[in-house]
Structure 1
Amino acid sequence: MAAAKEEAAAAVEERVRVWAAAQVASGRRVALVTSGGTQVPLEARAVRFLENFSSGRRGAVSAERLVSAGYGVCFLHRARSAFPWARVLPPPGPALLDALCITPGPPPAVAASPGALPALLPALRAYRQAAETNALLSIEFTELNEYLALLRATARALAPFGSGVMFYLAAAVSDFYIPASEMPEHKIQSSEGALQITMRMVPKMLSPLVKEWAPEAFVISFKLETDPLILIEKSRQALEKYRHQVVVANILESRRTSVIIVTKDSQTPLSLSEEEIAQGVEIEEKIVSYLQGQHTLFMDKKL
């Protein structure tokens, strides 16, 4: 099993390296966007898992914006989480079925109901453009260990391209897990009574990414808190500890409308006005625009 996972990661590394070389040759910068939550199994032959609330929306929206800004985007995302441009579709169920209609034949066909999906046409056009120009490379993960292995593989693949690479680490990665050696083999039985679980800290991947895997890259992490009093302090502690370039700091309740971009020397609030919210502007548009400028400054310093 371990050998098969290593082989799969090696194949992804080569795939990303070839794709990234083509992006750079065409004049694009490259961004690795991680997105969605991670699944942590509680048993070796897993029936039960621990999850977090992440839908992957921020990563998906940001990937769209980065492609529009001229980046080639490697989208490392949780399976079945939000996907760039596809997020305009209703979720599976009545809303999706009601948005579709049957057109008369022969032969009969399926089409979107007029007016039901106003955002679908521009989203589909943007996706087709990205696909035709090879600007989006999609890689899926589910479990925590799979994500960690793929992050390492993609980072190594992108390392040769230096400061032109942006790591946009928006995935909501679990802080805790159960090592394989400590997991029960079979399903935990409820008949055994109340469940007590001891979980270990997940090894932090930001440190080896910055120091070893891709030391020349522009690295952005995200910090989500529920207590605004500790948000900036936690963000600065992360910058000091890992020595990367940017933390995007946000509070759970307001994460869709405001963030603070924290660097070693500054903190810059970005927010949506009431008018922008009414117009459907998304905070990721401002985040990506600001970080694109920061990436340019970072690259200029490396020259």
Structure 2
Amino acid sequence: MSFVNAGVDAMASSLSEEFAVPAHVEEVRRVMAAFAEQHGAAGRMVVLITSGGTKVPLESRTVRFLDNFSSGRRGASSAEYFLAQGYAVIFLHRQRSLYPYTRLYTGVNLLDCLTLHPVHEGSGLVAVDQTKLPNITDVLKRYQAVKSGGLLLPVEFSTLSEYLHLLKAAAQALSSLGSKAMFYLAAAVSDFYIPPSEMPEHKIQSSNGPLQISMKMVPKILKPLVKDWAPKAFVISFKLETDPSILLERARCALDIYKHQVVVANVLDTRHGYVVIVTKDSQKELVLTEEEVQRDVEIEEKIVKNLSHAHTQFVNQKG
């Protein structure tokens, strides 16, 4: 056995030992596999999108946890654009993070948009104030078309442990699609965790004084995903930095280590209007112009168009 294979096998073993397996993971894997088989047979490509942040518990009976700022905006918006490109989408998202289509109205109090129908008030009919839900007719039509076609499969996670096991299950479920499967790993996954053996069972008491935490590095699941679980798939990871000067170096380092196809590199302060698509042989800047910003164009539309084209080329090369 090579050192690389040994490392991958050790990571897979660590995943089961260090992170509790969700009771429903096998059922979800079967549902995802059926979804992939159905759409693969219909000639569609399938993308697994991960979205939102991961919660890291500090206690076994969790009261406190570590989180990050991710709302799931990039994953939710990208799902819509992939659906518009003809993909079927498995949407592996953090519970209560932004969701495709409804994400457009997250700042709206739904009850403020509804009134009893003024003509048929006694009938229970409800009227919608469309001025408070802009473009709702078009959005609803698009959502209903996606739903009736069975093109979107949502899968929820909450904790880091759930995310890791469900991603592995998704990779196994999509492996039969070969190069027609895409992994768009937009979730903001924690780099650190507390092993169950080192985690207090009950709520940490503030009366004990200042809190000191020792955390371990989360195993890099990208390596076994690319090498073992879905080795023929088209895999995209994301690299977010706060220092622009190291962005491309870190993106190329990730490609060299994990041997996947694409890194979408972005800087925290400009992530909504500028990204760099980095591959082994190229890099391409995607930028929103002022005119596009005025028209409410989203950078995810450009990202998805670029990657959809690259995926088609990848499939054609694999034959």
- Structure 1 residue 120: Cα displacement: 1.7
- Partner Cα separation in structure 2 for residue 22 and residue 87 of structure 1: 27
Matched, 1:102 2:112: no
CA deviations on 1:217-260 (whole Å, 9 max, x unpaired) are 00000000000000000000000000000000000011001100
* Residue type of the alignment partner of 1:82: L
Report what 1:229 is aligned to.
245
Question: Alignment RMSD, CA only?
Answer: 1.5
Q: Secondary structure at the match of 2:122?
A: coil
Structure 1 contact 89–120 (Cα < 8 Å) conserved:
no
- Structure 1 residue 7: Cα displacement: 4.3
CA deviations on 1:199-225 (whole Å, 9 max, x unpaired) are 110111000000000000000000000
- Structure 1 residue 122: Cα displacement: 1.4
Q: 1:42 aligns with which of 48, 58, 61?
A: 58
Q: Secondary structure at the match of 1:130?
A: helix
* TM-score, with structure 2 as normaliser: 0.91
Report what 1:140 is aligned to.
156
Q: Secondary structure at the match of 2:140?
A: helix
Q: Secondary structure at the match of 1:264?
A: coil
Matched, 1:114 2:130: yes
CA deviations on 1:266-298 (whole Å, 9 max, x unpaired) are 110001000000000000000000001110111
- Partner Cα separation in structure 2 for residue 194 and residue 168 of structure 1: 40
Number of residues of Structure 1 aligned to a counterpart in Structure 2: 300
Flag structure 1 segments of 5+ consecutive residues without an equivalent: none
Flag structure 2 segments of 5+ consecutive residues without an equivalent: 1-16
- Structure 1 residue 91: Cα displacement: 3.4
CA deviations on 1:5-34 (whole Å, 9 max, x unpaired) are 454111111111111111111121000000
With over 3 angstroms needed to count, the CA separation of the structure-2 counterparts of 1:219 and 1:4, relative to structure 1, is: closer
Q: 1:76 aligns with which of 77, 89, 92?
A: 92
- Partner Cα separation in structure 1 for residue 38 and residue 46 of structure 2: 10
Report what 1:85 is aligned to.
101
Q: Secondary structure at the match of 1:229?
A: helix
CA deviations on 1:170-219 (whole Å, 9 max, x unpaired) are 00000011011110000000000000001110111000000000000000
Report what 1:9 is aligned to.
25
Structure 1 contact 159–215 (Cα < 8 Å) conserved:
yes
* Residue type of the alignment partner of 1:143: T
- Partner Cα separation in structure 1 for residue 127 and residue 266 of structure 2: 39
- Partner Cα separation in structure 2 for residue 236 and residue 216 of structure 1: 20
* TM-score, with structure 1 as normaliser: 0.96
- Partner Cα separation in structure 1 for residue 177 and residue 221 of structure 2: 20
- Partner Cα separation in structure 2 for residue 75 and residue 6 of structure 1: 18
Structure 1 contact 168–220 (Cα < 8 Å) conserved:
yes
- Partner Cα separation in structure 1 for residue 67 and residue 261 of structure 2: 28
Matched, 1:172 2:191: no
- Partner Cα separation in structure 1 for residue 287 and residue 79 of structure 2: 19
